[in-house]
Amino acid sequence: MEEKMSGRGLLITFEGIDGCGKSTQMRLAADWLRSRGVACLTTHEPGATPLGREIRRLLLSSGKHVTVEAELLLFLADRAQHVREQLVPALAANRIVLCDRYSDSTHAYQMAARKLGQDERVLTLLDFAECGVHPDLTLWFDVSVDVAFHRMQQRQKGGGERSRFDLEARSFHQRVADGFARLARQSPCRIRRIDAERSIEQVQRQVRMEIETFLEDKL
């Protein structure tokens, strides 16, 4: 697979509401790609760079008041750093990058769920942070809020951290889910819907199929 790649690398993003299972699936997809000789980089937002880790702590720890505008700018500061420090060099080196959350999360969480809307100023800032780095393929893990809540509870029992977003009301997570559904309708070629309510193995099968189909086209 790898030898056939030429030019710029490829960015594949994993998106969905909290607890949809995307991090689990991204790990499995990376193992699968590597087992087939494809050198891929795995990364995530927020918090993949040294600066980003500090920003992530500010963003996710509960118990402090954060305005919607400040929240947006912190996510975008994290992205600006991540894009320039990690994504641009990896893509220039022709790598396949798997990224757990990217710009669609900002659309779904800040613009839809936090109700910032399609403000032109916000769109300009998003462009500025992304610096022309757009996902080539996005896998959207579609689950109901009920299923996601159940999975988050399981994860917390296993010792996982609870973020400021995990503490949000059901209605907030439903707005996030509606935001992702709208984005998928707007970009049906780039955003592929994954039926994420099935077992980990079944979901992984669909993930591999989507990535394989996409790479066959590109490589």
- Chain residues binding ligand ADP by CB under 6 A are 16, 18-24, 151, 154-155, 158, 199-200, 203
Residues present in the chain in total: 219
Phi, psi of 194, rounded to the nearest 5 degrees: -110, 130
Q: Which does 21 bind (CB under 5 to 8 A by kind): ligand ADP, ligand TYD, none?
A: ligand ADP
- Considering only residues 163, 178, 197, 214, which one is a binding residue for ligand TYD as defined by CB under 6 A? 163
Compute the distance between CA of residue 81 and CA of residue 43 in angstroms, rounded to an integer: 13
165 binds ligand TYD (CB under 6 A): yes
- Considering only residues 13, 18, 192, 207, which one is a binding residue for ligand TYD as defined by CB under 6 A? 18
Compute the distance between CA of residue 82 and CA of residue 114 in angstroms, rounded to an integer: 23
Q: Compute the least distance from the CB of residue 204 to ligand ADP, in Å.
A: 9
Q: Compute the least distance from the CB of residue 203 to ligand ADP, in Å.
A: 5
Q: Which does 105 bind (CB under 5 to 8 A by kind): ligand TYD, ligand ADP, none?
A: ligand TYD
Candidate segments 98-106, 124-132, 179-187, 193-201, binder of ligand TYD by CB under 6 A: 98-106
Q: Which does 45 bind (CB under 5 to 8 A by kind): ligand TYD, ligand ADP, none?
A: ligand TYD
- Considering only residues 29, 75, 143, 196, which one is a binding residue for ligand TYD as defined by CB under 6 A? 75
CB 112 within 8 A of CB 179: yes
A 10 A CB-CB count for 67 gives 9
Q: What's 2's DSSP letter? A: G
Compute the distance between CA of residue 168 and CA of residue 19 in angstroms, rounded to an integer: 13
Residue 160 sits at the vertex; the CA angle it makes with 111 and 77, to the nearest 5 degrees, is 35
Binding characters for ligand TYD, 106-135, by CB under 6 A (x = yes): x--xx-------------------------
Q: Name residue 2's amino acid.
A: E
149 binds ligand TYD (CB under 6 A): no
Q: Which does 104 bind (CB under 5 to 8 A by kind): ligand TYD, ligand ADP, none?
A: none
Compute the distance between CA of residue 175 and CA of residue 170 in angstroms, rounded to an integer: 9
Compute the distance between CA of residue 139 and CA of residue 203 in angstroms, rounded to an integer: 11
Q: Name residue 162's amino acid.
A: R
Binding site for ligand TYD (CB under 6 A): 18, 23, 45-46, 60, 75, 100-101, 105-106, 109-110, 163, 165
